[in-house]
Amino acid sequence: MSFVDYSDVIQDGDVAVVYLGHDSMTHIKVRHGAQTQTRYGAIRHSADLIGQRYGSKVTCTKGGWVYVLHPTPELWTVTLPHRTQILYTTDIAAITMLLELKPGSVVCESGTGSGSLSHAILRTVAPTGHLHTVEFHQQRAETAAEEFREHRVDHLVTVRNQDVCKEGFGVTGVADAVFLDIPSPWEAVGHAKAAMKRHGGRVCSFSPCIEQVQKTCQALAEHGFQEVTTVEVLLRSHDVRSVSLPLPDFGQDSPAREKEAPPRQAAVGLKTTTLPREIPGHTGYLTFATKPRT
């Protein structure tokens, strides 16, 4: 198992995602002889998991069942241990596209936080790209590095425990893209520019408050970045429901009556969608910019 490479069969040492139904999921570390308790009873790793195929339905000791899934960055985002606020898939999708990330891209990121975005970047830039991620909280940096090892993506990432605003990313002239998710991104814009390739690239900064965005845009312009654009990504779900509409009665002279049509039903059932009145969940603003060739 690796977060950047699919394997068919669950093995000792893997990280697997357990789907418990009703959108409830958790992750487990598969270990010979270990057990994981769920509301459906225990999952016995040696008997129930090791050697089974990912996607299998596993019956727990109380008779209930779960699905065991191969981990992906998307599933990790919804099951990871939160050490900080994290980025979710809606923002991550826009970040990946608008930073123009692809296999082989070199990316700088700060802060690493809980590693939610990092895993998505790693899956996108694999197998030949690299992520340089900077986190000034020592324990968060160490835990992220440990998780990257467990998820077998550590060959694609360098974790640095330092202050990105004071010491930068630890690399110069190598990055195709830079991503900032820190409280004062404007203080790191100069370091972002220094980390990027001479022929240019893309930068993105995530901030929850518009005052942070204003300062970041100003700093980006002062450092010669172009195409500075801020977006907010909101997800709008359409809920499908059934409605029953009465058939209109056009009266005695209606053509339907004249043709002596078979008796009509009084109502017709339709599927329709309703839009949410409000879209909850402002996460933050995403400011993108382009570094021109220097």
Ligand X SMILES: C[S@@+](CC[C@H](N)C(=O)[O-])C[C@H]1O[C@@H](n2cnc3c(N)ncnc32)[C@H](O)[C@@H]1O
Interface mask toward ligand X for 182-221; x: CB under 6 A: xx--------------------------------------
Q: Which residue has the tokens 């050697």?
A: 51
Number of separate helices (H) and strands (E) present in the chain: 8, 15
Q: Which residue has the tokens 């570094």?
A: 291
C-alpha dihedral sign at 137, 143, 144, 149: positive
Contact flag: residue 86 with ligand X (CB under 6 A): yes
Read off the tokens for 68: 């065991």
Q: Of 4-12, 60-68, 105-113, 123-131, which part binds ligand X (CB under 6 A)?
A: 105-113
Cβ proximity to ligand X: between 95 and 289 the closer is 95
Q: Rounded to an integer, what distance in angstroms lies between the CA atom of residue 178 and that of residue 219? A: 15
Phi, psi of 193 (to 5 degrees): -60, -45
Q: Of 11-19, 45-53, 158-166, 278-286, which part binds ligand X (CB under 6 A)?
A: 158-166
Helices (H), the chain: 73-79, 89-98, 116-125, 138-150, 164-167, 189-195, 210-222, 255-258
Cβ proximity to ligand X: between 115 and 201 the closer is 115
Helices (H), 17-88: 73-79
Contact flag: residue 286 with ligand X (CB under 6 A): no
* Minimum distance from residue 214 beta carbon to ligand X (Å): 19
Interface mask toward ligand X for 116-155; x: CB under 6 A: xx----------------xxxx--x---------------
Residues that bind ligand X (CB under 6 A): 84-87, 110-111, 113-117, 134-137, 140, 163-165, 181-183
